[in-house]
């Protein structure tokens, strides 16, 4: 390859003033430059060509010029635009849109794996750009996390764009034969490409699937090998590791990563399916394709706006917490007292009947009703069983009588009136009651998911809630109809191993071994802090 003689201040093609180097790789250095004609910042990449093989060098120059001109005609909100292909001497320079950003590879390396909703949204947007690329007759050939950029800055924060359309020869390219060259990064190649077949649109679909898989699983579907040829051998075999953390993306990823190119969906189909998943049941797919993605670990705001599936699902469980626990107490307490008040009235009436005539007894009963409040303290001090004598002395007490008749059968035996309150408390009790050993904490948490997500979320630590807002927490559990735990194995005072079986609405299930780590709050209650597959 020819050695680039470049330095800040150099004027390329009489128009682009180099300012600072912002990247580089097997293809050459990438510079931030000023377009002095239009007065805007651009990214300028020098395309390196072979020094030893003139025929190959000419082929590389013509290819860069041809494909650069094609890419320059592509305008898409999620694609880095190519503005110009400048020829200076024997070297072509690609002039592109400049986006202050981090690559998706840098995001995953620095922040860890992403949530399913984030990956679905990013995947839908990149697939939208690639679908437009394919429609323009361009095959990207090097879709990977390093070529997907996430904007940084006030006006571009979270803007997703894919770069290097059909022109990149990334560092680590492997020459398979003297006449055939594999362009792309081996870990993200499609099996047919590793076998020596021509790259096509289906190859881009596979590479995008491998990219999204990496964002969820932390490594490519074929793993990683330092030896590029060994990596190619793995890829050519076409046997991927099934995704374990993909949730609702498991199906789409499996189809995108099919070994047979004919079995993969088109890029437009990938876009539509991922957009539907990211939008949820009541969301707008158009919003997904245009939204900014907040990839901060504690963020998720744009993602939750376009991933509202969690809200409807989380809205179903709330009926147990609000109505029962709060309303039962007012009903039980007043219900226990008025019957006792009325009991005092009837006892007084009975004594009056014995002492006086029946007529005077009824008269005494009538007068004692308003005076019953005087004896309320005495009556309420008597917690003995009340027979179902809930007849109403006057129409004015009708609402109270209804409450009392509801409570009276329970009041028939004092013990059954008392348990009413704890029984009403039953669903909330696991949330409040301290679990001070990890095995109990595991059982308490998984007893609440996926049916009562609000209560389960209360059993997570502040650190957990910072990393996973309620919307993303709910969005994860939205993919499952039930969950089962078994083989709980405590490890010390703050962690446990357990087998977790996730059951999907279609009846399929996945069992994983997880290590769950807990953090004690001020009251000694263990709260879930981390959940990692082992």
- Which are the catalytic amino acids? 142
Are 205 and 132 in contact, with CB atoms under 8 Å apart?
A: no
- Provide the strand spans (E) within 160-237: 160-162, 174-175, 181-182
> Structure tokens of 411?
């009041």
Please state the φ and ψ torsions of residue 155, each to the nearest 5 degrees.
-90, -15
Which one, of 153, 471, 528, lies nearest residue 299 by Cα?
Answer: 471
- Provide the strand spans (E) within 445-494: 482-490
Are 180 and 196 in contact, with CB atoms under 8 Å apart?
A: yes
Handedness of CA 248, 254, 257, 263 (dihedral sign): negative
Q: Which helix or strand (DSSP H or E) is residue 324 part of? A: none
Please state the φ and ψ torsions of residue 511, each to the nearest 5 degrees.
-110, 130
Known binding-site positions = 45
Known binding-site positions for ATP = 45
Q: Which helix or strand (DSSP H or E) is residue 122 part of? A: helix 116-135
CA dihedral 327, 333, 335, 339 (to 10 degrees): 180
- Provide the strand spans (E) within 350-476: none
Name residue, tokens 């002492």. 355
| Rounded-to-integer distance, Cα 191 and Cα 201, Å | 13
Other Cβ atoms closer than 10 A to 221: 26
What does the angle CA 465 – CA 470 – CA 474 come to, to the nearest 5 degrees?
Answer: 125
Distances from the Cα of 532 to the Cα of 441, 449, 513, angstroms = 16, 17, 9
Are 526 and 519 in contact, with CB atoms under 8 Å apart?
A: yes
H helices of 381-426, where? 398-411, 414-425
- Provide the strand spans (E) within 309-367: none
> Structure tokens of 432?
């409040």
What three-state secondary structure class fits 65?
helix
> Structure tokens of 180?
């055939």
The DSSP letter of residue 239 is -
| 3-state DSSP of 218-246 | CCCCCCCCCCHHHHHHHHHHCCCCCCCCC
């Amino acid at each position: 390859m020819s050695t680039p003689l470049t330095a800040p201040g150099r004027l390329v093609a009489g128009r682009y003033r180099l300012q600072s180097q912002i990247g580089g790789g097997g293809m050459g250095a990438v510079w931030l430059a000023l377009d002095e004609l239009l007065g805007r910042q651009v990214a300028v990449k020098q395309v390196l060509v072979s020094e030893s093989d003139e025929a190959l060098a000419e082929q590389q120059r013509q290819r860069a010029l041809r494909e650069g001109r094609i890419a320059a005609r592509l305008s898409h909100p999620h694609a880095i635009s190519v503005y110009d292909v400048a020829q200076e001497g024997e070297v072509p320079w690609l002039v592109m849109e400049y986006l202050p950003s981090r690559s998706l590879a840098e995001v995953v390396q620095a922040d860890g794996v992403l949530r399913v909703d984030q990956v679905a949204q990013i995947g839908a947007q990149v697939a939208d750009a690639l679908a437009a690329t394919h429609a323009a007759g361009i095959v990207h050939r090097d879709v990977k996390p390093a070529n997907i950029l996430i904007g940084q800055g006030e006006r571009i924060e979270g803007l997703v764009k894919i770069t290097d359309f059909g022109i990149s020869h990334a560092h680590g390219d492997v020459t398979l034969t003297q006449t055939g060259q594999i362009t792309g990064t081996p870990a993200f190649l499609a099996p047919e490409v590793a076998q020596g077949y021509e790259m096509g649109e289906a190859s881009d679909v596979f590479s995008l699937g491998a990219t999204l898989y990496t964002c969820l699983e932390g490594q490519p579907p074929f793993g990683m090998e330092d030896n590029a040829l060994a990596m190619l051998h793995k890829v050519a075999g076409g046997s991927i590791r099934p995704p374990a953390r993909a949730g609702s993306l498991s199906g789409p990823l499996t189809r995108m990563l099919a070994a047979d190119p004919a079995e993969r969906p088109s890029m437009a189909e990938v876009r539509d399916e991922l957009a539907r998943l990211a939008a949820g049941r009541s969301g707008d797919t158009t919003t997904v394709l245009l939204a900014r993605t907040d990839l901060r670990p504690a963020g998720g705001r744009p993602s939750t706006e376009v991933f509202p599936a969690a809200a409807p699902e989380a809205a179903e469980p709330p009926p147990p917490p609000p109505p029962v626990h709060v309303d039962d107490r007012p009903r039980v307490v007043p219900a226990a007292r008025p019957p006792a008040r009325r009991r005092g009235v009837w006892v007084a009436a009975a004594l009056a009947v014995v002492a006086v005539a029946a007529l005077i007894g009824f008269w005494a009963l009538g007068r004692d009703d308003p005076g019953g409040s005087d004896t309320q303290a005495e009556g309420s001090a008597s917690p003995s069983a009340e027979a179902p004598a809930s007849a109403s002395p006057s129409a004015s007490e009708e609402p109270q009588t209804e409450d009392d008749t509801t409570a009276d059968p329970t009041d028939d035996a004092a013990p059954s009136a008392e348990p009413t309150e704890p029984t009403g408390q039953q669903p909330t009790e696991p949330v409040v009651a301290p679990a001070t050993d990890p095995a109990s904490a595991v059982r308490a948490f998984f007893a609440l998911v996926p049916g009562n997500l609000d209560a389960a979320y209360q059993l997570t630590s502040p650190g957990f809630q910072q990393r996973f807002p309620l919307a993303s927490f709910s969005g994860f559990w939205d993919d499952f109809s039930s969950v089962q735990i078994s083989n709980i194995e405590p490890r010390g005072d703050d962690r446990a191993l357990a087998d977790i079986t996730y059951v999907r609405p279609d009846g399929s299930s996945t069992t994983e071994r997880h290590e769950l780590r807990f953090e004690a709050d001020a009251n000694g209650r263990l709260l879930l802090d981390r959940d990692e597959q082992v």
